[in-house]
Each structure stands twice: as C-alpha cells, then as structure tokens.
Structure 1
Amino acid sequence: MSFALRPGPVDVHAHWLPRELFGLAPGAPFGGITDRDGRLFLGEVPLSIETRSMSDVGRVRADMERAGVGSRVLSAPPFAFALGTDRGTDEYVEAFNDGLARVVVDGEGWFAGFGCVSLADTAASTRQLRALARIPGMLGVALPPLVHGSSLDSEPLEGVLREAADLGLAVLVHPMQLPSPSLSRHYLANLIGNPVETATAIASLLLGGVQERVPALRICFVHGGGCAPDLLGRWTHAWHARPDVRASSSRPPEEGFRALFLDTVTHDDDAFALLTAKAGDGKVLLGSDYPFDMADGDPVRHAVARGLTAHQLEHDGRAFLGLPGPGDDPDPLVR
C-alpha cells in the first residue's frame, strides 16, 4: 500500500496520546497523566495542556490549518517512552503503535507517525521496529536521548538506531525532562534540562562514532539541537586537542553535525541564526512541539520570517522521512 502526505510544510515534531493510554507504560518514572477538568497533569505537575489537544485528532487538524502546516508527524510525548521491563510494557507499546497507525492510515495524508519501542528489551524493540516498517505512513521511531545513564553510542539505543537505519526508518530524539535536584525549581528541568539532554545525545553520537558505524541513519534532534550548536566549537577544539575525545570518531564534531537534522523550535532569532549557520544544507526541519506550553504556536510563520521557505519546509521534511519531494513522481516502494 502506498502512502502520500498532503502538500505543504511538514511538521516533524508534534505529540499525540490517546486517552486510553494516559496511564503510561508500566513503571513510568513520573506516574500516569490525568484529566482534571479538561487539563492534563503528569502526576501532580500541571502540563498546561488542554486534554483534547493531546488526544483529539480533530483538534490537531484544526491547529494545523490555523498555522498553515500541510502535514504533521505525530509521536508519543516523552513521558510515554517505555524504559522498563515491567509486565505489560510490550503491550503498552504495541497499543500505542496500533492506535497511531490507525490515525495515520485514516488521516488522508494529514499525518505520519513515529512509533515507540520497548527500550529495555532488544528482542521486543526489534520486533516492534519491523512491525512499524510494514505500516504505510509509520515512517520512524521516537527515542529518548538517554536510557538508564547511557546514550546513543551505547546499547540499547545504538542497537535501535542500527535496526531503524536498516529498515529505512527515520529517528526522532526527544528529551525526557529528567528530574535533578539542582533543576527542581522554576521549571529548570525543562528550561535547562531538556537542552542539555539533547546536547549530551548529540555529543555521544558525534564523538562515539555512531555515524561511521550507521551511515544510513536519518536522525533529527528537536528544540534546535538543544545547546549543541553553541557548544560545537568547544567540542571540535577538544577533538583536535585530546586523543581520548577523538578516539572513537573519524571526523571533527562540526563536520558530523552537518549531517544531522534539527528542528526549528528555538524561540529566539539569534539561536535560530546560529542553528542555520552550523547545520548542513537542508537539515533544518519544521517543528512545533504541539501541544505543549513550550511549543512554537506559529511555526511556519516564524521559520519563514527567519529565512526558510515554505518549499524548504516541505522538501526537507519529506527528505528526512524518506518520501518523494513535492512534485516528484512517487516511488511505488515508498511505504
């Protein structure tokens, strides 16, 4: 069965979770999410999200029409990643993937999907990735930047990257907002923790030699790559100065960074300018982070005002997803 997206800018970073899965994967570190008078809470923490915005596909489409988004790639919110081995984890992952697949298949080109995998079970994650690859419009997998202290250059995450690349699936890396005593106030777990988690994953990928071992990998880091663009010069200096920093990689970080995809969610003109200066051609993709309070609520307008074009936002998003560009003849082998 073939698959095609609607014309227009492709938003690669948006979230969806059906109400029946609000309990989250067994062993979820923050507990489940609940609907309190139409607003979502993660445990006792308010998420500043209307419940319908997370789970109602009609609400998602209305937001897309308002913002001029042609198509949106939906993935689980990061607190729904399956990190443990508790009984029922595989069933939760497969229920999410099945539900998202129905949204995508029924969406008439409005949506594509990035599924989840059971990260602590290699056999299960492999099986789940292979199942995703057989479903039209399920074009990739969303992953956290860290699992139990290890990142993209270690198992289990590197194994998932290898399998995804072998299957032609794209990868989206999204931070989890991990708790830390030093970041417990002022929402710093998000404001500082999220960018640092993402930068840690990018550094692990670049310095750990993952690109060399998995050359077919198409991987996107959200929130403009976190603080990685600002740190690239420091990493590259260390790569030249210290044998231990360059021991696992064959090219300096600034060169490897140009092969990565990053999204547009920077919230700042200067940060966006730095991102586009450091990123490779065609590697900055439209992102919104819908429906969170830290989302860019007008992502197309902001990206165009900062120098990208609507054509780029469509063409480059499709390239990341492994789909034909706008106006290209569709490949009958494209899922």
Structure 2
Amino acid sequence: MTTRRDFLKAGGAAAATGVVFCSCGLLQSAHAQQPTRQKLPVMVDGKRVKTIDVHSHCQFHETSALLGDTPPISVRGVDETYVEIDKRLAAMDAQAVDIEVLSINPNWYDRDRDLAGKVVKIQNEKLAELCASKPDRFAGFASLTLQAPDLAVQELETAVKKQGLKGAAIGGTVNGVAFSDPKFHPVWAKAEELGVPLFIHPQGVPELNKQLAGNGWLTNAIAYPVETTIALSHMIFEGTFDRFPKLKVIAAHGGGFLPSYADRSDHACLVNPKGCNPEIKLQKQPTEYLRQIYFDSLVFTPEALRHLVAQVGAGQVVLGSDYPFPWELHPVDPILATASLSDSEKADILGYTAAKLMNIEV
C-alpha cells in the first residue's frame, strides 16, 4: 500500500525534476517553474486573513466498524481521514490553512433508520468533541440521517444548538431520490430557520459505473461532478431555491460541471417546452440561481477560478481543498495567483465569506 506520506516523499523527489508521475501512466509537468508556497499567516494587501477550508474530510473508527466500512486503500490520503490532531495541524500549517471545517461523506443512506441514526449520533458527538478540543483550528459539518427526514431535522437542530456544529454535510442524492423531492422540505426548512449551510458532497452515480469503467478513475473524476450538477439542477428547476430563498448550499468541487456550462440551462425550456413543467414557474432565469449558491474553490487553476467567479460571483466562492485526499495540497496558492480577483475578493474567498456563512469568529 502506498501511503500519503510515501506519496509526498516521492512527490518531493519528482518536484526536483519538475515532473509528477500519475497512476494513470501519464507524465506531466508539475509547473514550468516551481512557485513559492504560501505559508501561515496569510496576508492580503498587508492584512492578516484567517483562511477557512470548508472541504476537508474525517471519519471515526467507531462508526466505520458499525458500518463495516472498508475504504479503498488504493486512494491516497484515506488513512489520514482518521484524524491525528498533531499530524493534521502540521498538514494544515503546510497548506496555509488556519481552520478546517470537517465533514464525513455519507455512506449510511442505504442503511436502516436505527443503524444510520446510531452512526450519525456517534459521529456528531465525536466531531463536536474534536472541534471543541481545538476551536481555533477546527469546525464541523454534522452528519444527517437524510433517508429519514424527520430524524434529520432533529439531528440538525441538536448539532447546531447543542453541539456547536456549523451546518451539515449531505450527499448528492438519497438512494436516487433528488433533493428537490418534497420529502426533504422539512430538512431544508430547518436549515433555513437555523441559518446554517448544507455542504453538498457527491458520492458517485452507480448507474454510470459500467460506462465509466476503465482507466482514469472516471467514477470519481466524471461521476462526482455529474452528481453535483444533477443535484443543483433539480433544486433549481423544481423550484427548491424559490421555496427556500434563504437556504445556504455549498457545492463541492466548484459545483461540478454546472458553472462551466450554466447558460445551456437558460435555453432548455425554450427549445423543448414539453420537457418542462408549465406549473413550475421559476422566479428567475436558471443561471441566476447560481448567485445564491456557494461553491468551493477546488477547480485547481487560476484560469478555472477566474471562470467560476465570472459565472457565480466572487462572493459565492469559498476555499476548499478535499484534504486529506491530495487533489490540491496548496489550496491558497491558486486564489492568490488569480490576477482577475481584487485583494478584497481574494480575502473573501480565503476566509471572510465562510466566516460569515458559519458564524466563525475571525
């Protein structure tokens, strides 16, 4: 098994030659010139900015055992989702991240209510305990038994009001049922009432697995962004965001593919009116709803970030890394390198917007 530490060690040697080897068999240039990596404290226009990473993962041995969970050992970083505080803090320092908002990917939606409820209870208690041990470095998104919306409402209220968690992390669907389904309305209403965000993190699209088999880990590289795109599109077109105008949703991985081709959504019902429900009368153009959704910055390059901001607005983007999975080990750097952003916009993306969203004191 190749651990993340082995990966980083090998990566250091590769960086010296300016190349990185990919498990897909590709050889690519890491950078034409190795950049200077941002360190803590992060300064923008001479002012200290506390950076807040809204997309970082953890899990707990107790609930993994209950679920019989066996994470794929081939995925780099999976061993470090079980947080060892000193190691995690050292990694955050190296990434120039002041605060991680921890979340757990929901792999219990297909379990019965009692088992899933037990898993969620343990996870929220453990996560609250972890965050309380280092409140200046960690915050957390609660888990929810979303397949039982009535229970999820109770869990969310307890997590926010009693455990100090900052919102909840949810998947991209619940066993194939879209979030626009009325059964979930009580959960969105509770999140709106509490004023806390819901972080959408996809889990994959099993129906596509056969087509995506083969080289390139397409079940993640393609299916994850597709699932987020579908989830957000249903919430837009079914009127969920009209029904809950103050609902705060953060979409992982830059919102999937939706912001990259959002304008197509504005034309679909014009081209095929019979493909749209005349009883659903949206209050805005589909693309306008992107201005009330939040997106993490995990799009890798300054050009991709420039385009995301052009589509959704700088005030809708927040810092995200996907740590400990090594998708972006230096998440602050692309933001600082995006020349189209003003200093105030960079500061907002790095931390100020997330702080306001989650009532984190900075």
TM-score (norm 2): 0.78
Equivalent residue number for residue 14 of structure 1: 56
CA separation of 1:246 and 1:240: change in aligned 2, threshold 3 A: farther
- The RMSD of aligned alpha carbons is 2.2
Equivalent residue number for residue 214 of structure 2: 185
Q: Conserved in 1, the CA contact under 8 Å of 2:95 and 2:330?
A: yes
Separation in 2 of the partners of 1:189 and 1:224? 17
- What is the CA distance between 1:213 and its match in structure 2? 0.5
CA separation of 1:121 and 1:201: change in aligned 2, threshold 3 A: same
> Does residue 136 of structure 2 align to residue 109 of structure 1?
yes
Equivalent residue number for residue 275 of structure 1: 308
Q: Higher helix proportion, which one?
A: 2
- What is the CA distance between 1:86 and its match in structure 2? 5.3
Q: AA paired with 1:253?
A: P
Q: AA paired with 2:74?
A: P
Equivalent residue number for residue 329 of structure 1: none
> Does residue 337 of structure 2 align to residue 305 of structure 1?
yes
CA separation of 1:170 and 1:259: change in aligned 2, threshold 3 A: same
Selected match of 1:245 from 245, 266, 276: 276
TM-score (norm 1): 0.84
Structure 2: unaligned runs, 5 residues or longer: 1-47
Separation in 1 of the partners of 2:175 and 2:357? 28
Structure 1: unaligned runs, 5 residues or longer: 1-5, 26-30, 34-40, 327-335
Q: Conserved in 2, the CA contact under 8 Å of 1:19 and 1:55?
A: no
Equivalent residue number for residue 150 of structure 2: 123
Separation in 2 of the partners of 1:300 and 1:246? 42
> Does residue 246 of structure 2 align to residue 216 of structure 1?
yes
- What is the CA distance between 1:230 and its match in structure 2? 2.0
Q: Conserved in 1, the CA contact under 8 Å of 2:143 and 2:170?
A: yes
CA separation of 1:320 and 1:83: change in aligned 2, threshold 3 A: farther
Equivalent residue number for residue 258 of structure 1: 291
Q: AA paired with 1:234?
A: R
> Does residue 79 of structure 2 align to residue 51 of structure 1?
yes
- Secondary structure of the structure 1 residue equivalent to 2:76: strand
CA separation of 1:171 and 1:132: change in aligned 2, threshold 3 A: same
- Secondary structure of the structure 2 residue equivalent to 1:147: coil
> Does residue 90 of structure 2 align to residue 62 of structure 1?
yes
Per-residue CA deviation, residues 21-40 of structure 1 (Å, 9 max, x unaligned), is 22364xxxxx512xxxxxxx
Selected match of 2:324 from 285, 291, 297: 291
Selected match of 1:176 from 200, 203, 207: 203
Equivalent residue number for residue 166 of structure 2: 139
Equivalent residue number for residue 332 of structure 1: none
Separation in 2 of the partners of 1:126 and 1:304? 39
- What is the CA distance between 1:229 and its match in structure 2? 1.1
Q: AA paired with 1:302?
A: P
Equivalent residue number for residue 318 of structure 1: 355
Q: Conserved in 1, the CA contact under 8 Å of 2:266 and 2:285?
A: yes
- Secondary structure of the structure 1 residue equivalent to 2:310: helix
Report % sequence identity.
27
Q: How does 1:25-104 map to 2 (within 5 A)?
A: 25=67, 32-33=69-70, 41-42=71-72, 46-49=74-77, 51-78=79-106, 80-85=107-112, 87-104=114-131
Task: State which structure, 1 or 2, has the greater radius of gyration over its C-alpha atoms.
Answer: 2
Q: Conserved in 1, the CA contact under 8 Å of 2:303 and 2:338?
A: no
Q: Conserved in 1, the CA contact under 8 Å of 2:95 and 2:331?
A: yes
Q: Conserved in 2, the CA contact under 8 Å of 1:81 and 1:143?
A: no
Q: Conserved in 1, the CA contact under 8 Å of 2:302 and 2:335?
A: no
Per-residue CA deviation, residues 32-70 of structure 1 (Å, 9 max, x unaligned), is 12xxxxxxx43xx62222524532222221111111111
Separation in 1 of the partners of 2:293 and 2:176? 23
Separation in 2 of the partners of 1:188 and 1:158? 32
Per-residue CA deviation, residues 77-129 of structure 1 (Å, 9 max, x unaligned), is 34x34343254221111000000000111113211110111122122111111
Separation in 2 of the partners of 1:16 and 1:148? 22
Selected match of 2:231 from 197, 201, 205: 201
- Secondary structure of the structure 1 residue equivalent to 2:174: coil
Count of matched residue pairs:
304
- Secondary structure of the structure 2 residue equivalent to 1:13: strand
Separation in 1 of the partners of 2:353 and 2:201? 19
